[in-house]
């Protein structure tokens, strides 16, 4: 019998009041900043724009977004966090999370014009990851991060057509 292909071991799950603690724990390991209670409250109400990713039934990553209405009345989607625990990287989990978000953003009912995010300027792996998915650096925000170095962040965007 041949081993189960990797893609069959991956599952996306909703973020609920019952597993929000898993998200808190993941974020404390993955990101150098502490997210406030309002972040987690917001995540519970964005539906398909926040997901946990499981590998062999173990929660190993997540993506959390929020919808924003721009000054021109266009709706944008901001990726607040997307991360996978280090031992589980390079297995396509981040790809699945991002592809799910982009598919949902492309749904005409959601009326999303662009997806964007901030990435620390020294995070070459993240920049390469997003560029692989069609994102482009559109600007650099100086002193975006207050408590981590470097403080500067690239803004990466992908237009939804």
Task: Render pLDDT for 66-119 as a digit per residue (tens, 0 to 9).
Answer: 999 987 888 999 999 999 999 999 999 999 999 999 999 999 888 899 999 999
- Which of 40, 45, 55, 118 is catalytic? The answer is 118
pLDDT for 148: 86
Residue 1 lies in a domain: no
Burial status of residue 98 (CB atoms within 10 A of its CB: 0-12, 13-18, 19 or more): buried
**Structural domain span for residue 44:** 6-159
Residue 33 lies in a domain: yes
- Whichever domain contains 145, its CATH number is 3.40.630.30
Is 55 a catalytic site residue? no
Number of domains in the chain: 1
Distances (CA, A) of 147 to 19, 82, 143: 28, 19, 10
- Which of 35, 54, 78, 88 is catalytic? The answer is 78
Residue 87 lies in a domain: yes
Is 118 a catalytic site residue? yes
pLDDT for 140: 97
pLDDT for 28: 95
């Amino acid at each position: 019998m041949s081993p189960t292909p990797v893609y069959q071991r991956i599952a996306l799950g909703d973020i609920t009041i019952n597993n929000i603690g898993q998200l808190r724990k993941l974020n404390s390991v993955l990101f150098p900043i502490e997210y406030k209670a309002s972040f987690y409250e917001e995540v519970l109400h964005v539906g398909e724009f926040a997901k946990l990713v499981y590998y062999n039934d173990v929660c190993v990553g997540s993506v959390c977004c929020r919808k924003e209405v721009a000054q021109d009345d266009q709706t944008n989607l901001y990726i607040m966090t997307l991360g996978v625990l280090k031992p589980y990287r390079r297995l396509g989990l981040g790809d699945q999370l991002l592809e799910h978000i982009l598919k949902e953003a492309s749904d005409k009912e959601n009326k999303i014009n662009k997806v964007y995010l901030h990435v620390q300027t020294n995070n070459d792996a993240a920049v390469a990851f997003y560029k692989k998915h069609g994102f482009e650096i559109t600007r650099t925000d100086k002193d975006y991060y207050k408590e981590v170095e470097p403080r500067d962040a690239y803004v990466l965007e992908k237009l939804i057509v």
